[in-house]
């Protein structure tokens, strides 16, 4: 692996959890997978969500749009606990997500991959990755996205209740 390989950064992060922030995970995901953008939405319950990071305005807009409308791949992933991989947003069945399908036709996003962040039945959030070109994730890209989802879940749990065995991110 090259010296600046994101996989090396991810492995190093497992040794120093303080380095793993939602913002860092979003940026690494956009490089590792590769995608046009990423967002992480934290869920305190089914009706309360907060976007904790987004790599750009499109990623932020897609996250906000879905949870405002109450429909779309991220909402579906959060509800079912299974990833939702939409390789072509222009081919989304309008009967499944009618408002979302209409709204995304006006964005540069052409593919959207959403990964639920859960611990058992506890909904922690959703990691969403988008591309401005349609197409499925390759096997290696899917593996990278799942690794990023694991990191995102851990980072969100740290935001909720930091582990007292680790120094705080504020350096304490």
* Domain chopping of the chain, boundaries: 6-160
166 in Cβ contact with 18 (< 8 Å): yes
13-22, 96-105, 160-169: range with lowest mean pLDDT: 160-169
Q: Give, as one character, the DSSP assignment of residue 163.
A: -
**Over 50: is that where the pLDDT of 85 sits?**
yes
Average the pLDDT over 49-72 and give the result: 92
Pairing of strands 48-54, 122-131: unpaired
DSSP codes joined into one string, 101-154: HHHHTTSS--EEEEEEEEETTEEEEEEEEEESS--PPPHHHHHHHHHHHHHHHH
Average the pLDDT over 44-58 and give the result: 83
How confident is the model at residue 6, as a pLDDT? 56
Averaged pLDDT score across all residues of the chain? 83
How confident is the model at residue 8, as a pLDDT? 65
Buried b (16+ CB within 10 A) or exposed e, 114-150: bbbbbeeeebbbbbbbbbeeeeebeeebbebbebbbb
Average the pLDDT over 14-24 and give the result: 67
Q: Is 165 exposed, middle or buried (0-12, 13-18, 19+ CB in 10 A)?
A: exposed
Q: Which residues contact 103 (CB under 8 A, 6 or more apart)?
A: 65, 69
Which residues are registered as beta bridge partners of 49? 43
Query: CA 165, CA 53: separation in Å to the nearest integer?
Result: 25
Give the confidence band of 41 by pLDDT, cuts at 50, 70, 90.
very high
Give the confidence band of 48 by pLDDT, cuts at 50, 70, 90.
confident
H helices of 42-118, in order, are 57-69, 73-80, 98-104
Give the confidence band of 2 by pLDDT, cuts at 50, 70, 90.
very low
Q: Is the pTM of this model over 0.95?
A: no
Pick the CATH number of 6-160 from 3.30.450.40, 3.30.460.80, 3.40.367.20, 3.40.1410.10: 3.30.450.40
pLDDT in tens, 120-151: 888 899 999 999 999 999 999 999 899 889 88
């Amino acid at each position: 692996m090259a010296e600046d390989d994101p996989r090396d950064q991810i492995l190093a992060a497992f040794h120093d959890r303080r380095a793993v922030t939602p913002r860092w995970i979003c940026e690494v995901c956009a490089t590792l997978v590769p995608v046009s953008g990423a967002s992480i939405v934290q869920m305190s319950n089914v009706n309360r969500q907060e976007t904790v990071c987004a790599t750009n305005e499109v990623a932020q807009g897609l996250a906000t749009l879905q949870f405002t409308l109450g429909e779309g791949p991220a909402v579906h992933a959060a509800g079912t606990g299974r990833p939702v991989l939409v390789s072509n947003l222009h081919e989304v069945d309008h009967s499944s997500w009618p408002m979302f399908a209409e709204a995304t036709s006006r964005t540069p996003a052409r593919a959207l991959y959403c990964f639920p962040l859960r611990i058992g039945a506890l909904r922690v959030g959703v990691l969403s990755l988008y591309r401005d070109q349609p197409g499925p994730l390759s096997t290696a890209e899917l593996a990278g996205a799942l690794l990023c989802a694991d990191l995102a879940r851990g980072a969100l749990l740290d935001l909720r209740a930091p582990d007292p065995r680790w120094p705080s991110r504020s350096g304490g």
